[in-house]
Structures are given as C-alpha cells and as structure tokens.
Amino acid sequence: MYSIEFSGQANKFFQKLQKQDQLIISKKIGQLKENPFRYLKRLQGDKLWRLRIMKYRAIIDVIVSGNKIIVLRIGYRKNVYN
C-alpha cells in the first residue's frame, strides 16, 4: 500500500476549492493507495504521471521503492501543464 503526500503548491490549490470538489479529488487520489498505475497516465518526456479528475488534473510522482505517491500539482486542465 502506498502513502500519499501533498506538496505545498498542491495543498494550497486544494484548500481554495469548494468542499464538494475537495471531496471528489480526495476520493480519487485515495484510490491510488492500492494500485496507482491503474488510474495514472504517463506524461510525455517526463517521469511524472497525471490523474484526471473532472475538469482538474493532478501531476503526480510515484516512488515505487519507497511506496510513496507525491502529489506535486493540482489545477485546471488548461493551466496545470505550464
């Protein structure tokens, strides 16, 4: 089972969202604990992954050797990749 950590930037964006969106995002990220690669898609030219959550995207780094998932960024689809 993987542990999940949020970066400062991801946590800051997450706290600004409405409660309903926070619940949906936290539920979706919580599903990654068992099998993260089922829901993630690899970013081109990078060692990072993305997770689709409605109109939001989460940029995630998976450390397999440490069983750790780090949520680097959460944002709107059009802005998160910049």
Give the phi and the psi of residue 63 in degrees, each rounded to 5: -105, 100
CB atoms within 10 A of CB 73: 19
**For residue 65, how many C-alpha atoms fall within 13 Å in the half-sphere facing its CB?**
0
Q: Is the pTM of this model over 0.75?
A: yes
pLDDT tens-place string over residues 3-62 = 999 999 999 999 999 999 999 999 999 999 999 999 999 999 889 999 999 999 999 999
Distance CA 67, CA 48 (A): 15
Q: What is the pLDDT of residue 63?
A: 93
Q: What is the pLDDT of residue 71?
A: 96
- In a domain, residue 82? The reply is no
Q: What is the CATH number of the domain that holds 55?
A: 3.30.2310.20
Q: What is the pLDDT of residue 82?
A: 80
Range of 67's domain? 3-76
The pLDDT confidence band at residue 81, using thresholds 50, 70 and 90, is confident
Number of domains in the chain: 1
